[in-house]
Structure 1
Amino acid sequence: MLNIDRRRFTFTALLLIAVVAGVSAHAQKRSQGVFRSGVDVVRFDVRVTDGSGKAITDLKPDEIQIVEDGRPLPVLLFQHVQEPAGVYREAALRAVSAEVSSNQGMPRGHLYILVFDQHHITPGNEQIARRAAEAFIAKRVRPSDRVAVFGLPGPGPQLGFTADRTRAVAELQKVRGALERNMTTPLGRLSQQEAYEIANGNDRVTVDVLERISSDANSDIAALSARAQTRANEDAAVTRRLVIENARTFVATADSDTRQSLQRVADLIEQYRAIEGRKTVVFFSEGFHQQNLTRELEQVAAAAAQSYAVFYAFDLNRRGNDLQEMQPATTTQASEIQARVEPLGSLAAETDGVLVTDAASHLDAALDRIADQSQDYYLVGFTPSDAALASRGQYRRVSVRVTRPGAKVSARTGYAAPSSAPLDRRRAIDSALSAPFVQQALRVEYTTYALRSETTGRARVVLSLEADLPVRDERNLTADVVFVVRDVQDGRVAASGTDTMPLPKAPSDHSSTGVGAYHVQFELQPGSYIMRTVVREPGGLVGSADRKIDVRAFSGPEMTVSDLVLGSATGALPVRATAFAEDGLSGMVETYGRAPDQLRALTVTATLVPAGSNEPAAKTDAALTDSQPAGGGVMRRASFALPLKDIAPGSYLARVRVTAGTEPIADLTREVDVRAGAAPHVPLPATAVFRPADVLDGDYVTRARMALHESNSPAAARALKGLDLFARREYAASATELSEALRMDQSSAAIAFVLGWAYEGAGDHRQAIGAWRAAAVIDPKLVPAHLALADGYLRISEPALAAQALRAGLAALPDSVELQAKLAEISSRR
């Protein structure tokens, strides 16, 4: 994977944004509990309908309850998953091409898992199910859907989720039935149903079986009876004992086969828990006896709860006479079918599914009803009970209630607190990256800004992201962030990165979660790309969103313009810009050309237009800087400030038009939310909250550490010792070693930068500012040092000095969007 370029957007910038995003009104009451990082969360997919069966789409979190043993469990997460109207392809294109990419409302198809319970399908009976499944895949599985096909326990089809319907149909040919309903013994034939009845102590069935086999000329008992009439009583006792023993052996073998099948089903369903979305499991089987398998059935139900799997159990038992049965059975066919189908019904009921009885007579119609099911449901996350946490893996029954009058709720009936830790970070992230649809456990929204790169022929793309995340605690301070950008033409990876983002300090108003923010930049060549970004919180919940990025060529002979960058009360480079009427709206664009003459006659006009209108509410001309060298050409920056005092609060579109004389060059827009009053003052904490790894793992410090390991100088030895102490959070001791290393070698900006964080961790803010100032002097292009220095000044209420530090950074890096945005934010609040 490609490394993230941290030289321009780094950990310090993230801290500020996290602080801004994490602030909430503690004085206000919340209807939900606080979701803290590392807490176990169980999630249910819940369908809610009105009296006519129509989905209710406006349910509120306080209208739903999860009750266990008469006590409601705290609800921490509540999300509505709604199936978009219209054609999937069009809805998906709109979602990935929007100004802000989000996983909320992202269209998704159905996820079908076709499971053939081969141990419990009579040979030949699978053909009916196979033909119906072929027709279902060919006619009802849409291009937006994904289908998986499995024959358990195997051998048989083993095909994971795919959109290739031809391949899925081909896999169906591998399905084989393997159910043996009868057992041949030296005493004669014994059916599985008779064996269970005998093993359960049904004396009538035992007597009937004894009478039948005594008249069977092929059985040993018939021969013994003919030769030893005088020992009839003794032979009858021996025969009875042998029949019972054979029955128990038959039952033990059948139970073992069923346990194996159910375990494979549980393992199969559990492996898809990392893939979000309600999964429809079409389970083809003739059923089995459940009296010895309660635990195994609960394991399947628990796996289904973790993976949002709903079982539609198809009863493949044939009704009518069995021509292969040569002798009359001692049990009725109806009672046998009822006994075998009962666990299928329980499994369907536990998972909010349906049992389709006598499915062979109406398979096509039943499968059609499944395809017509709506994908409208709610994801409800709650904290497991103390009893569930004390007995992890044990199935706990709950009831789901909705307080709205007339509403009907359909949900699974229980859960099990996972006995193992959540999927490891790498596996969970890899699963999210390869999942057929985006993950929706965490709300994720992001946008991108494209500007010219210092590297000729490439664009600099800045990613700005927000996510709903649990509140941090002492053990968990960050969430994982991973992104992959692929070329639309050939699917190759054009850019990628793995990083962390700070967890919010406190929940947002009326919410159990807070908002975390993240920024990073990378470079791309001109072209079209699809990007997937994944966020994973420490407890294992994952959110992801897709985005289409069209990168313009900024280094060609024609004049070009960067994306529009707006200042926002929510921080630098916002996902969604917010402006306050008393503060105004600021923004900037960059224009690029080959030579200064191309950019001499530029005019840049900014307007603010109400959403849904064409009449501007405010208008101004942007101020243009002089041309300066940039990326093999020249660049002029245009900045503007729109007054908003007479603007009504609401949704607006900021529009910037760039012209050269009478020739239009660009027409750029960004959505902005205008609010009344002034932006609330958000004081920085007296001490920055950070994690040593976030400082040490940056590219700049990492390269410096590698160089120190290759050096034999005394300064290098002291510096490495100081860095090790810093990693162990021994900040005071680290500061002593790093300050001595810097005294011995005053040319290392990395040592000075980490020294500043060591002082900050030790509570010596003035010394921290001095160290960051030294780092910025040693390497004026070290953006993290300028940002850390500015934040340090803000923490001691010196905004003028913070602005001065940023201007010094801009003197060395005039094209740094991060420093510009930070300076604009400070200036708007002074």
Structure 2
Amino acid sequence: MRKLISVCLVLVLGASPVFPQDKAAAPQEGDRIRVFTRLVQVPVTVTDGSGKLVTDLTADDFMLSEEGKEQKIATFENVTTVNTKIGIRNLEPGLHTNRLIVDGGSRAVVVMVLDTINTPITDQAYTKQQMIKYLTESVQPGTLLSIRVMSRTGVRVVTDFTTDTSLLIAALQRAKNDPLSPTTSPDPGTSAPLPTPTQMGFIDMSSVDPMYASLQAMTMQTDPQYESFQRGIAYLDTFSGIRGVAQSLAGIPGRKAIIWATAGFPLEVEDTRGFSSNLYKPYFGRMIQELNDLNVSLYPVDARGLLGNLSMRASEFFSNTRGSNVMQSTSARASAGFGVGSPQISSDPMDAMRYMADLTGGIAYVNTNDLATSFKRAAEDSSSYYLLGYYLTRNRGSAPEFRKVKVQVKRPGLKVRTRQGVYVSPRPADVQGAREADLGLAQRSQTNLTGLGLMVDWLPDPAKPQDPTKFYIQVNANDITVTEPENLMSVEFLAVARGKDGKLIDQVAHKVEGKVKSPEDFRKQPMLYSNNLKPLPPGAVVRFIVRDNLNGRLGSVIVDTATMKK
């Protein structure tokens, strides 16, 4: 057996728990609020009066406040990115990892995501043309780019990270005629009510057959409900897709940029059929917090182009073909919104784009047909910045919380841009359905997720194709959350094998949780989980997944048996 195993603590299914399951001390009188702290890193861009980046500031030049209270700057970094390649180390047969080669400092990393969930097909085609124009005419040499497509079935990688624009252009040109996933949001040009059967030249059977009229009435009731259901699924798929891209970038140091080409959606709406986007606030909060924790900025680019004063309202964007309209919520913005500072015009997708960009330190590019220039400006925005860190204290609760963050510089005449604030959502363990959503995200992802560093040891014996094969998953213990002062941890291991047709062949899972005696000793050596997979047919794909249940971080390694080293 490889050295990988000899240096690790092995967790075997069915064995005694590795960590003592001591009960936490009973709360004392007055212990009504449990407080947790985490380091928040705030990327800051500073420019002079001409718009030129200012790169010679120190920590003493900055002031940072949260909700009007000055905070001590605990960490400071002046970041100038490099454009060296990203890759995975060449390992011996049977070893697989999601750990990226990240030597050489922070990188300028840009992922361009074409959103087919919320974008009409005509706008998708124009967006791809503008992507090709940007890559042909405007991209800075050495920019590290990846292009992906987000659909209802997950995020598909068009090209992995490369600085070779010819490869990126060729991939987009090949994809120009590919069928794209149907958008869940109707094209505004086709949102008028459907003509009646009589207008189409057919007999209106509801006028002569009472049973037909009854069935038609039932259809009129169920179709809008189905549309509301589909709209809610679109929210969740979008949040999940963005989270999946962010989790795949977690192992790359420095600030990362997601350029999100989309027609967007309103964040605050209620409709006559009972749909309310407020139901999805916890999932939105988790997405924003995760982007902030992983140092990922969102740059929405409005794929609809120039709209002028005819900015699409939610009632136009989500109009039902039978004429029932979406209405803006009448609730107060502070109480019904997704957080303090939520969009003034909550039914406008443009406001949602600006809001999401502000929360993550990006910029929204809207109301312009020159998408290529928008892509260029977004990609260049991460080339040089400052990274300020402070410790945020939060109370454990069931509701998400938004806190305003403000950064100022003492040197006069400079302009500061950073994210609007920090979204403090409940721990994943406190969000209903978070576990299922996270594990589903990892199983749909086409790329390794790098929120937790993993090494997998798995090599089926070709001489014994009918025998189960043992695998080992090694986790970097420094990536695992241990609560303070309870010293609790909770990690879930999952291995899922599917055939070429996508059908499930085998699945094994195990949760390891408890109280560690010392966080320092716990982090001195990696964790290792071991189990067996049943014999697999040729071409099977196995996903080895680990989830930190205390913060929702994911690590995954995808192994395709058709291409793995023997």
Give the TM-score taking structure 1 as reference length: 0.36
Query: Displacement of 1:406 after TM fit?
Result: 3.9
AA matched with 1:71: K
Matched, 1:351 2:351: no
**Which residue of the other structure, out of 238, 243, 265, is the alignment partner of 2:242?**
265
Which sections of structure 2, spanning at least 5 residues, go unmatched? Answer: 5-35, 85-102, 270-275, 313-318, 327-344, 430-449, 457-473, 477-516, 527-550, 552-566
Check 1:354–1:179 CA distance in 2 against 1; reply closer, same or farther (3 A cut): same
Offset of residue 79 of structure 1: 0.8
Aligned equivalent of 1:309, options 286, 296, 300: 296
Match of 2:74, SS state, is: strand
What's 1:797 paired with? none
Cα 1:241/1:403, change in 2 over 3 Å: farther
Pairwise CA RMSD: 5.1
Structure 1 residues 257-656: aligned runs within 5 Å: 257-290=234-267, 291=269, 292-293=276-277, 295=281, 296-317=283-304, 339-359=348-368, 361-373=369-381, 375-387=383-395, 390-391=396-397, 394-404=400-410, 405-412=412-419, 413-416=421-424, 419=427, 423-424=451-452, 426=454, 475-476=519-520
SS at 2:223 equivalent: helix
Corresponding residue SS for 1:356:
coil
Q: Evaluate the alpha carbon distance shift between residue 371 and residue 273 of structure 1 in structure 2; reply closer, same or farther with a 3 A threshold.
A: closer
Secondary structure at the counterpart of residue 304 of structure 2: coil
CA contact (8 A) 1:217 1:223 kept: no
- Report the CA distance shift for 1:385/1:180 in structure 2 as closer, same or farther (over 3 A): closer
Question: Structure 2 counterpart of 1:397, which letter?
Answer: R
Q: After TM superposition, give the deviation of residue 283 of structure 1 in Å.
A: 0.8
**Partner residue in 2 for 1:132:** 130
One-letter identity of the residue aligned with 1:476: E
Q: CA deviation at 1:182?
A: 4.8
- Which residue number corresponds to residue 574 of structure 1? none
Q: Which amino acid aligns with 2:363?
A: V
Amino acid paired to 1:303: E
How much has 1:305 moved relative to structure 2?
0.9
Residues 56-106 of structure 1: per-residue CA shift (max 9 Å, x gap): 33434344344334434443111111358xxx79xxxxxxxxxxxxxxx96
Task: Provide runs of 4+ in structure 1 moved above 6 Å.
Answer: 190-194, 237-241, 318-322, 327-332, 477-482
% same residue: 16
Larger RCO, structures 1/2 (Cα 8 Å, 6+ apart): 2
5+ unaligned residues in a row in structure 1: which ranges? Answer: 4-37, 90-104, 184-189, 195-208, 433-472, 483-538, 540-830
Contact 1:274 1:431 (8 Å CA) reproduced: no
* Residue aligned with 2:298, SS: strand
Query: 1:42 maps to what in 2?
Result: 40
| Aligned equivalents of 1:167, 1:303: Cα separation in 2 | 31
Q: Structure 1 residues 192, 70: CA separation in 2 closer, same or farther (over 3 Å shift)?
A: farther
Contact 1:270 1:306 in 2 (8 A): no
Structure with max Cα Rg: 1
Change in Cα spacing, 1:130 to 1:385, as seen in structure 2 (3 Å) is: same
Distance in 2, Cα, partners of 1:357 & 1:403: 28
Please tell me whether the aligned partners of residues 392 and 416 of structure 1 are also in contact (alpha carbons under 8 angstroms): no
**Which residue pairs with 1:93 in the alignment?**
none
Q: Post-superposition shift, 1:150?
A: 1.3
Which whole-Å CA distance do the structure 2 matches of 1:431 and 1:344 have between them? 36
Equivalent residue for 1:250, pick from 227, 230, 233: 227
- C-alpha separation in 1, matches of 2:80 and 2:196: 61
Letter in 1 for 2:121: P
Query: 1:41, 1:381 within 8 Å by CA — same for their partners in 2?
Result: yes
Kindly provide the CA deviation profile for residues 387-441 of structure 1, in whole angstroms up to 9, marking residues without a partner as x: 2xx249945323122151444321122144794799556569x999xxxxxxxxx
Matches within 5 A, 1:772-783: none
Tell me which residue corresponds to 1:168: 168
Distance 1:141 1:277, change over 3 A: farther
C-alpha contact (below 8 Å) 1:149/1:160 kept by paired residues = yes
**Equivalent residue for 1:224?**
206
| Conserved 8 A contact 2:298-2:363 | yes
Closer/same/farther in 2, CA of residues 477 and 329 from structure 1, 3 Å limit: closer
Distance 1:392 1:74 in 2: 28
Q: Which amino acid aligns with 1:161?
A: F
**TM-score of the aligned structures, taking structure 2 as reference length:** 0.51
For 1:582-608, what per-residue CA distance to the aligned partner results, in whole angstroms no more than 9, with x for missing partners?
xxxxxxxxxxxxxxxxxxxxxxxxxxx
Partners of 1:244 and 1:382 lie apart in 2 by 52
Aligned match of 1:118: 116
State the alpha-carbon separation in 2 of the partners of residues 425 and 155 from structure 1: 22
- Post-superposition shift, 1:378? 1.0
Opposite residue 290 of structure 2, the aligned amino acid is: A
In the TM superposition, 1:3-152 aligns within 5 A as 40-82=38-80, 110-142=108-140, 144-152=142-150
Determine which structure has the larger helix proportion and give its number.
Answer: 1
User: Would you say the 8 A contact 1:305–1:351 is kept in 2?
Assistant: yes
| 3-state secondary structure, aligned to 2:110 | strand
- Per the TM alignment, residue 278 of structure 1 is displaced from its structure 2 partner at its CA by 1.9
In 1, the alpha carbon distance for the partners of 2:182 and 2:226 equals 18
Cα pair 1:119 1:257 within 8 Å, conserved: yes
| Alignment-derived partner of residue 182 in structure 2 | 178
Quote the Cα distance in structure 2 between the aligned partners of 1:160 and 1:418.
33
SS of match in other structure, 2:244: helix
Distance 1:367-1:69 versus aligned 2 partners, 3 A rule = closer
Partner AA of 2:39 in structure 1: V
CA contact (8 A) 1:49 1:407 kept: yes
How do 1:671-690 residues align onto structure 2 when only pairs under 5 Å count?
A: none
Q: Distance in 2 between matches of 1:251 and 1:192?
A: 18
Q: Is the 1:64–1:400 Cα contact (8 Å) retained in structure 2? A: no
3-state secondary structure, aligned to 1:144: coil
- The code of the aligned residue for 1:352 comes to G
Maintained 8 Å contact 2:259/2:300: yes
Shift of 1:280: 2.0
Partner of 2:486: none
In 1, Cα distance between the equivalents of 2:286 and 2:453? 24
Cα separation, partners in 2 of 1:109 and 1:137, compared to 1, 3 Å: farther
- Structure 1 residue identity aligned to 2:417: S
> Aligned letter for 1:168?
L
